[in-house]
Every structure is written in structure tokens, then in C-alpha cells.
């Protein structure tokens, strides 16, 4: 189960603050999510928090995003992600990461499928 508010807001953060993530960050996140998606461990929150600890700029921007959201006060609390929804959450987040990689990678990498 994921109950950390920052992690619960992560998909929204990725959508609205994609400029914070480099291609390398997104690639590493995709690899981390692939491992977690195929076999989510009990300590999934800790693994994701450690990913953020290695990327202080992203972590700090996520904290700012969380504070801004709290200050709005109109947004209802996000319910925890239950174990039975965890697989779907990983799939949705991975899809978002891949979309961001595709949009950032256009023109920067020659691995696209342009014919």
C-alpha cells in the first residue's frame, strides 16, 4: 500500500511539472518501475523515496508541489493506493513516464520510429 502523499501526487506532478525531469531521470524511473511492476515488494514506498533522495531537485520540486496543493485547501485528500490497485498504479505511472520520454526524446535521440 502506498500512503505517502508525495507519492500519491506523483502522477499529477509528472504531468504538470515534466520539465523537472531529464531524459536520464525518466529512463531510470522507468527501469525502477519496471522492476516494481513485475514484482511489487513490501517496501515499495521506501524504494521510490530512495529514488527521490538520489534526485534532490526533483524531490524538492515535489515537496513544493505538495505544499501548493495543500494550500489550495479545496482538494480532497487522496486515498492510499491499496495493494490490489498497486499493479494498475505502476502501469499508469510507467505509461506516463514513457509518454514523457517520447516527448522529450523527439529530436534529441535517434531511436524514434521515423521512416
Across the chain, mean pLDDT equals 82
Q: Provide the pLDDT for residue 23.
A: 94
Contact between residue 6 and residue 70 where contact means Cβ atoms under 8 Å apart: no
Render pLDDT for 70-107 as a digit per residue (tens, 0 to 9): 776 655 666 777 777 777 888 888 999 999 999 887 74
Report whether 66 contacts 17 (CB < 8 A). no
What's the half-sphere exposure (Cβ side, CA atoms, 13 Å) at 81?
Answer: 21
Q: Where are the alpha helices (DSSP H) in the chain?
A: 5-8, 10-16, 23-38, 44-53, 56-72, 83-105
**How far apart (Å, rounded) are the C-alpha atoms in residues 45 and 23?**
23
Q: What is the pLDDT of residue 66?
A: 87
User: Which cell numbers in the block locate residue 95?
Assistant: 505509461
Residues 1-17, mean pLDDT to the nearest whole number: 85
Amino acid at each position: 500500500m502506498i500512503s505517502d502523499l508525495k507519492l500519491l501526487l506523483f502522477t499529477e506532478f509528472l504531468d504538470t511539472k515534466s520539465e523537472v525531469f531529464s531524459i536520464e531521470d525518466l529512463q531510470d524511473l522507468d527501469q525502477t518501475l519496471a522492476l516494481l511492476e513485475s514484482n511489487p515488494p513490501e517496501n515499495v514506498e521506501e524504494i521510490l523515496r530512495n529514488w527521490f533522495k538520489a534526485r534532490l531537485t526533483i524531490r524538492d520540486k515535489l515537496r513544493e508541489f505538495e505544499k501548493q496543493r495543500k494550500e489550495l485547501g479545496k482538494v480532497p485528500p487522496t486515498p492510499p493506493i491499496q495493494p490490489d490497485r498497486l499493479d494498475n498504479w505502476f502501469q499508469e505511472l510507467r505509461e506516463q513516464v514513457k509518454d514523457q520520454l517520447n516527448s522529450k526524446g523527439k529530436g534529441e535521440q535517434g531511436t524514434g520510429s521515423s521512416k
